Structure 1
Amino acid sequence: MTIEILQTNKLLASCEAALAERYTVHRLHEAADPDALLADIAGRVRGIAGQRASRELIGKLPKLEIIANFGVGYDGIDTAAARERGIRVTNTPNVLNDAVAEITIGLMIALARRIPQADRFVREGRWLEGGYPLLTELNGKTVGILGLGRIGKEIAVRAQAMKMRVVYHGRRRQPDEPYVYYDALTDMARDCDWLVLIAPGGKGTEKIVSRQVLAALGPQGCLVNMARGTLVDEAALVELLANGGLGGAALDVFEKEPQVPEALFGLDNVVLSPHQGSATHQTRNKMGALVVANLDAHFAGEPLPSAVV
């Protein structure tokens, strides 16, 4: 009999097609009555594909063996509940490193040179009235990276190509890395021109970028969030951007996305992006393929390509 799995949210078309070829897929996110669907299939579902799996959902699936998360961040999966049951959890690392690193540098340049604002300046005919103001550049500046993991390292390499000095903060110093390590995030923010966030979400990093950290970054400093909106005290961020306490921000993620604080819309020192860090055809296809590869490996009794539990 074909193995039955549960899909918890919409996935890339290529991923959904590959799953359908191999498995009987029940799409929870499309069910008119999700509870009725779960009651019907609970005893047959052996895998989950998607970005959400709560303790409650895991508890309703007695035969569940594996959760294949679509994305490198897996804060939507209750890994503690999975671990208690001996359920494997996988993610999709590495394949998105380049895409996220590229857009990080792109957003930094967009903020430093106010590229979205310059585009509007030309389109609205204001260039006819006078030149665009002088701004700043990345070279010679110091960028502090919060979270020097796989993606953080790719951002660091690209920042060096822009002639920036790289420093970092994380849970521990990495002896093999050439960059200066700070054991206190506030100290790093104080010494940086740019603060890039690329650490995991979850309770351990919630509001780690506090008002104190933002104030330390200061009126000349810029924040770039490519991680999760929950890492930042968003209310303090908005306030400091509005009153000049923080120089600028390039934001790809938000605390309650897709809801974005309206106060940000009118600020000229902000560049906003709709959580598109890995949103390219190349990367998303690779991510989908890795979801499928993890499921295939598990049910074949082979080592998992990217296990986290």
Structure 2
Amino acid sequence: MKRRALITASLLAAAAAAPFQAAQAQDYPARPIRLVVPFPAGGATDLFARTLSQKLSEKLGGTIVVDNKPGAGGAIGSSAAANATPDGYTLLLATTSTHAIGPLITKTPYDVVSDFTPIAHVGNAPSIMLVPVDSPAKSVREWVDYAKANPGKLNYASSGVGTIVQLTAELFKSQAGVFVTHIPYKGTALAIPDLISGKVDVLFDSLPTGMPHVRDGKLRALGVTSLKRSPLAPDLPAIAETLTGFESNTWFGLYGPKSLPADMVARLNKAANEALADPQLREKLSGLGIEPTSGTPQDLAKLQAQDSAKWKKIITERKITNE
């Protein structure tokens, strides 16, 4: 009898909670939504978040407030989002660094699969292969031949050990079969002067920061790291045209904490896709060097898994560690 009474009470409680949850979903958002950015204000991820949040707010009919929580390579902000209540009022703009590369190099206080709910893949940021203007190579093929003819004599710059910049270069080395020495810097901005002067032989940098030097005639761009030519630089060949299948993008994904209700995920995904289809937003993002994307939560989860596997292979093969 006691067991029957407990079951009955549980069923009644669930029945009572259902209308309340439905009402919550219907009223959403009833207060500002916090979008956690796990990097400092003014950076690419922050600028993307602030640009996207304006249009996303319109589609949701509410307010989105960007909350910068930088530190530990994005782990501090990501952890804050993972531990938030799964009510749709805390979201995270994650990147390749936080959800595909970082956990492979450093132990994080969260699991990138089980502690988050994928919502939408919202953008890609390809990089470009830059060399000094007096480099003998005027194409990706010529640079590969040049490196093979000078094994161990060339070097590449990166923004630090374990960053997407380093891994992109190591992926290139692996596919091209060349030996090039790594020179880490504290950010690509610090490497640019040495690249211009010829102290560094190659750098894979973002489009917004690299292309101005190309237009000024200070550097030469050989290719873009997206699988196909980028609409952001249509005249620049894809490196994959020389090295089949080569691809390296910094992707951006919208996530919620684990156990985010499915109806809320669907609503957020729909709003994100509609926002990213807006021509004005797409133009603004292009100015930031970001290609807007769209898709289902499952698409984002698949991208994350594929990218993690790809970079794990490179990290293992090249024995990359942050120690």
Q: TM-score range by the shorter chain?
A: 0.3 to 0.5
TM-score (norm: length of structure 1): 0.34
State the structure with bigger RCO (CA 8 A, min sep 6), 1 or 2.
2
Structure whose residues are more often helix by fraction: 2
TM-score of the superposition, structure 2-length normalised?
A: 0.33
